[in-house]
Structure 1
């Protein structure tokens, strides 16, 4: 009897030990739940690493300074043709006038420049003008200096042409050559700007494209410190060009074409920077 009791007691002890062992193993493995339904063993919550989306850098706002050529009264006093030059030229000439329209060049350039400013602002540019009236006295060197002061990325000078022959017509642009003693470092970009502005201008207006003229004799170019172009919009000595440029609707096309050229130049500039 005593042996039977001992065996029974031993069996109970073995059974209890097995139950306790199973319970410990169950909770250690993390399969058990406490009364709150949470894991019986403490777990460290895995932290999700949320990577912030890469932000694109803000698009640069380009600054354009427009120089409406000439003014009501010319200034024949002399200024150096470029920084440190001994050669001089009149500070600002009177410009030409329309053979049929009777419009003065300084009037036409201001009319178109105002429309160009409006068009460029609409396209997102910051725009300044060297003059907004005819009654000023600003030399060509001072106009380039103003562009620098305003932090211009692009300096576009608006002019109209004249010739002894009434048959000559069309538009051209001007830029410094690579041998320019004052602005050689600007030559490549200025020539590209000049070509693109002229091409888009002629495309928009139907004006004959007379190409880019390289010159080292223009004070407003030589004193520039950023890419610069002179757009000679057409010949006021040619009746057809002259009367077309006088019309408001045509001036809108002129402004849109020049702005499209600046757009092209900026897009290519940004494309080169991304490479």
Structure 2
């Protein structure tokens, strides 16, 4: 009897030769990489298996984690996977598959190990039309649906990979489609578009940002770098990313640069507030968002950036103030998330203290609201120590409420944090242009 299972979630993955393990046909080796599905790290429901240098995924993972329909026909020993208008029929022990009725041959057959049915998912992903890739440096298997890319409304072929740290675009596609030129000196990738130039280091850690990666052997760079080189603003619309170019209004800075100090709230033993889900900590949200803002700012040679903390460390308020004052920062921004006993409380608010900080706070709050699209709780005057003791324009932002389930769902999204970082960058750039005009 045929059983039909409708599935919630997303995932189809495969990689080949990732560990140098070559078990014989019919024998499997357990493999547990970092799985990233549509930009989110996902724990496998049961371990993956390597057979003949092919990674196989259990059908139960399809049932538990993917947004597609799966059918199992016990009599015929067949698995049918449906997604994106494609119907793939695979038979246990056979390398013959049918895609929308068309016969194809694959190199590794679905198998049964114990009481689990396993399928080769790079093969399956490619047949359906998904992006399936592998980053060797971080042992990361990447799966996402094919993403669209446009420049000023014109669609441009672009292979893109979603990771928790950022979404990355293939350098070959960028060179061909956007005219971004590049050269490699050791592990430093130099990128140029017109008068704009940036050097990126090679990233070899999963949590790294502000550099380039090698995925499936190809160099890829973050979309924030693409936006900078194209002198444009970007936004996601569903699975499509669009960049609209703008005219540069920045003025040259003296060699000393314009120093921005970013203060990720809390850290170390001070977790800050805890989200409605019981597992989201303010200190992690503020650090992740701050790192994205730092990476974006460093793409502009006009800015020098310093963070009060780079990791999960504890700092007193005095230490945070001293970081900014000791380097003679031009502006200071402290990033926080809000909380309240009443879970209905929600929205975005910003604070400043000294009147000289108001112009900076005005543009920060304006752009922050554009990023969050949350309720506007206003720009307020408050005597927080990081605002009263700093010697430069300073602002403290509360991005949203982790204790509100709706705000929390957005704030846990990597794309949301990237949007916040981008709008904060645009705010700092706008303020910089005003004070240097």
Q: TM-score, normalised by structure 1?
A: 0.64
Report the count of equivalent residues.
Answer: 184
1:254 corresponding residue in structure 2? 420
**Counterpart selection for 1:168 from 329, 332, 345:** 345
**Counterpart selection for 2:281 from 96, 99, 104:** 104
Poorly superposed stretches of 4+, deviation over 4 Å: none
Deviation string, structure 1 residues 5-37 (Cα, Å, up to 9, x no partner): xxxxxxxxxxxxxxxxxxxxxxxxxxxxxxxxx
- Spell out the pairing of 1:1-275 with structure 2 (5 A cutoff): 58-60=252-254, 61-74=257-270, 94-100=271-277, 102-124=279-301, 125-134=303-312, 136-176=313-353, 187-216=354-383, 218-271=384-437
Q: Tell me how far 1:131 sits from its aligned partner.
A: 0.4
Q: Tell me how far 1:128 sits from its aligned partner.
A: 0.7
1:18 corresponding residue in structure 2? none
Deviation string, structure 1 residues 148-199 (Cα, Å, up to 9, x no partner): 12221011001010111111111111100xxxxxxxxxx2231221121111
Q: How much is the aligned-residue C-alpha RMSD, in angstroms?
A: 1.6
SS in 1 for 2:436: helix
Q: Tell me how far 1:245 sits from its aligned partner.
A: 0.8
Q: Tell me how far 1:58 sits from its aligned partner.
A: 4.6
Is contact 1:173–1:229 with CA below 8 Å preserved after alignment? yes
Q: Tell me how far 1:100 sits from its aligned partner.
A: 2.6
Larger radius of gyration: 1
Deviation string, structure 1 residues 195-247 (Cα, Å, up to 9, x no partner): 2111111113322222111012x121122111100011111111111111111
Is contact 2:410–2:416 with CA below 8 Å preserved after alignment? yes
Is contact 1:198–1:209 with CA below 8 Å preserved after alignment? no
- Quote the Cα distance in structure 1 between the aligned partners of 2:253 and 2:385: 33
Give 1 or 2: higher helix fraction. 1
Is contact 2:348–2:372 with CA below 8 Å preserved after alignment? no
Is contact 2:371–2:416 with CA below 8 Å preserved after alignment? no
Q: Tell me how far 1:115 sits from its aligned partner.
A: 0.2
**Uncovered stretches (5+) of structure 2, i.e. residues with no partner:** 1-250
Is contact 2:266–2:314 with CA below 8 Å preserved after alignment? no
- Quote the Cα distance in structure 2 between the aligned partners of 1:234 and 1:245: 8
SS in 2 for 1:65: strand
Is contact 2:293–2:424 with CA below 8 Å preserved after alignment? yes
Using CA pairs under 8 Å that are at least 6 residues apart, name the structure with larger relative contact order, 1 or 2. Answer: 1
- Quote the Cα distance in structure 2 between the aligned partners of 1:250 and 1:209: 17
Q: TM-score, normalised by structure 2?
A: 0.41
**Uncovered stretches (5+) of structure 1, i.e. residues with no partner:** 1-56, 75-93, 177-186
Change beyond 3 A, Cα 1:149–1:119: same
- Quote the Cα distance in structure 2 between the aligned partners of 1:256 and 1:219: 26
